[in-house]
Amino acid sequence: MRKKQFKAESKKLLDMMINSIYTNKEIFIRELISNASDAIDKLYFKSLTDDSVGLSKSDFKIQIDTNKDERTITITDNGIGMTADELESNLGTIAKSGSLNFKKDNEEAKENDIEVIGQFGVGFYSSFMVASKVEVVTKAFGEDVAHKWVSEGVDGYTIEECEKENAGSVITLHIKEDTDNEDYSQYLEQYRLSELIKKYSDYIRYPIQMEMTHSVPDKDNEGEYIEEVSVETLNSMIPLWRKNKSEITEDEYNEFYKNKFMDFEDPLAVIHSKTEGQATFDALMYIPSNPPYDFYSKEYEKGLQLYTNGVLIMDKCPDLLPDYFSFVKGIVDSADLSLNISREVLQQDFQLKVIAKAIDKKIKNELKKMLKNDREKYEKFFSVFGIQLKWGVYSNYGAEKDGLKDLIMFKSSKENKYVTLSEYIESMPEEQESIYYACGESPEKIALLPQIEAVKAKGYDVLYFTDDVDEFAIQMLMEYNGKKFANICKDELNLNTEEEKKALDEKNEASKDMLDEMKSYLDDEVSSIKFTNSIGSHAVCLSAEGYVSLEMAKVFSQMPGGNQGVKAQLVLEINSEHKVAEKLFELFKDDKEKLKSYTKILYNEARLISGLGVENPTEFADMITDLM
């Protein structure tokens, strides 16, 4: 029997497939089972209009057998089978896909719930990654003669007639011998094959059966065990996400989540939807109660599991989730995706973008619904993942801020609990022009800031920003419903009446010589010193002028490489109504040396209040001791 040669381009492609196209050898079982499922689908489709098929849907199955002694794996299906010409065409020319042609020629198959998976006709050849020889015995439905295709790889293949009773195909892989780098024998183990089938092909719609061996108690000999062999169906067949919501209990959703994504806690929310239109897909997504253990590490990978017609294509598809929703776990199943040649990585196509956009909208809508209908649950969610949403507002130059701004919350000075920006505005006094905020390590520490006292005295609420990203996000947001944001620790804070403002300006002008003298004692530590009447009963505070606030400067200083050259322009503000102001005027007139000490003490005091720390604590302590 003459050995036939693959075409030159097919020979090159086969060599590429074995050595580089597929990055994970274990997927060979996924590809062969998917092909078997396709063959069954084709015959099932035919049975809908041809009574001679003589099989109902429940009669179809895929059988897996292993033989360790002979080092073989056999995959058997009772599908449509192939003729000699189809063997020649489909297996003799790599990337010739009978499944793809079937899909094109039978558009009505979709209407009859027929789901053919194959697209490229290359998956079959992934078997050569683990097999030194592959045999295919197949008989096409309606044919009298069966044929056998045999190949050992790039050297070519043979086709000859053989005996086979029923339609379908039997694929036998002769598994390679182990090497120092590769353990091929693992694929001959029942548990390993069962694990791979569960991982990749759990939702193939036909039973995948294999003999499984278990140790069971020996009824005749107490305390002893015997090996029991039984044929088991390894796949669950019906994906939970394809069932109607009304058929699924909360416990079923939760158990599926915990088993699938290895979490011990029930999820906080479940998003189950079916979308039809530009892209048709099923999605089952979960919002965890707590972040995964590695969520904030470099090792964490975001992404949803991606299936096409129940077959796992990617364990984590990052393109389906924006970074601000990276905590979401779940599954997307679509038949409309354009796959690349290895069925491992998606091409960046229009359908993928449509699905990602739809998923983003669904998650946002679910969170809005939770915020409206279950405030306690939303606040629990926000306390865990709110920082992600705030990063979403800030990142990508604020491209997503409009979709996220109604979901972010901050604790406030009045409420002492989370409020949304919308709720803040609703409770604002009519004369209040800005949304006031202050930054710090915690609400408790922010509440002690001198500026808080003056703002609260006006009857205004203050939002507490305690995360590094908060002020950056608000700067990106710029305003909310026409109200601009105002940092109460910035020098442009304006709480005075026109009369108060005029009086303060006159006092600063009259005190210019003294204030300039005091500034000279601090070198370039501050950009200016001035009197204020906006810090209540406190003597002194620090504010900042320009874009960079005190907290933003702290964040920059914590980045690798120090402050990156970014500093806040500090302003030392002294309470014009405090007794210390009178003392400063006395010292300016009578004791410039002591004025210098007072200036440095007040500056370091202001730094401590602002959480900046004292640069020379020894000098500071000595000056206070001398003063005492």
Compute the half-sphere exposure of residue 370: CA atoms within 13 Å on the CB side of its CA: 20
The token pair that represents 425 in the structure block: 């505005």
Residue 248 phi, psi (nearest 5): -115, 130
- pLDDT > 90? residue 8: no
Per-residue pLDDT at 382: 97
Q: Within 13 Å, how many C-alpha atoms sit on residue 113's CB side?
A: 4
Q: Exposure of 329 by Cβ count < 10 A (0-12 exposed, 13-18 middle, 19+ buried)?
A: buried
Average pLDDT over residues 552-563: 68
What is residue 20's predicted lDDT score, i.e. its pLDDT?
58
The secondary structure of 203-216, three-state, reads CCCCCEEEEEEEEE
Over 90: is that where the pLDDT of 49 sits? Answer: no
With DSSP H G I counted as helix, E B as strand and the rest as coil, what are the percentages for the chain, rounded to 5?
Answer: 40, 20, 35
Answer whether 597's CB lies under 8 Å from 627's CB: yes
- Whether 484 shows a pLDDT value over 70: the answer reads yes
Look at 66-70, 106-110, 276-280, 308-312 and tell me which has the smallest mean pLDDT. 106-110
For residue 211, what are the β-bridge partners?
Answer: 231
Angle between helices 84-92 and 98-105 (to 10 degrees): 110
Among the ranges given (77-86, 172-181, 182-191, 548-557), the one the predictor scored with the smallest mean pLDDT: 548-557
Nearest to 323 by CA among 296, 349, 350: 296
- Higher pLDDT, residue 84 or 110: 84
Q: Please give the residue that has the higher pLDDT: either 375 or 119.
A: 375
Q: How many CB atoms lie within 10 A of CB 578?
A: 18
| Model pLDDT for residues 73-104, shown as the tens digit of each residue | 999 999 999 998 888 877 755 444 444 454 45
Instruction: Name the residue type at position 539.
Output: A
Percent of the chain with pLDDT over 70: 88
Q: What is the mean pLDDT of residues 311-336?
A: 91
CA 508 to chain centre: 54
Q: Which of 278-292, 481-495, 534-548 is the most confident on average?
A: 278-292
Q: What are phi and psi of 27, to 5 degrees?
A: -75, -5
The yes-or-no verdict on residue 561 having pLDDT over 80 is no
Give the angle 161-84-9 at the CA atoms, nearest 5°.
Answer: 120
Average pLDDT over residues 25-36: 90
Contacts of 21 (CB under 8 A, 6+ apart): 122, 341, 342
pLDDT higher than threshold 80 for residue 134? yes
Most confident of 98-102, 462-466, 576-580: 462-466
Check: CB of residue 41 under 8 Å from CB of residue 187.
Answer: no
For residue 604, the model assigns a pLDDT of 92
Q: What's the whole-number mean pLDDT along residues 354-373?
A: 95
Does the structure show a pLDDT above 50 at 107? yes
Element at 622 (helix H, strand E):
helix 617-627
Mean pLDDT of the 526-533 span: 90
pLDDT for 21 equals 56
pLDDT (tens digit per residue) in 398-418: 999 999 999 999 999 988 899
Question: Cβ distance 64 to 206 under 8 Å?
Answer: no
| Predicted confidence (pLDDT) at residue 236 exceeds the cutoff of 90 | no
pLDDT at 143 over 90: yes
pLDDT at position 342, please? 46
* Stated pTM of the model: 0.76
Separation CA 601–CA 496 (nearest Å)? 28
Non-local CB neighbours of 524 within 8 Å, separated by 6+ positions = none
For the ranges 29-38, 215-224, 334-343, 562-571, which has the lowest average pLDDT? 334-343
User: Which residue type is seen at 36?
Assistant: A
- Write down the pLDDT at residue 341: 43
Residue owning tokens 């580089």: 20
| pLDDT one-digit tens code per residue, 255-287 | 999 989 989 999 999 999 998 877 889 999 999
Tokens standing for 60? 């179809």
* pLDDT at position 36: 92
Q: Average model confidence (pLDDT) for the chain?
A: 86
Residue 166 is predicted with a pLDDT of 94
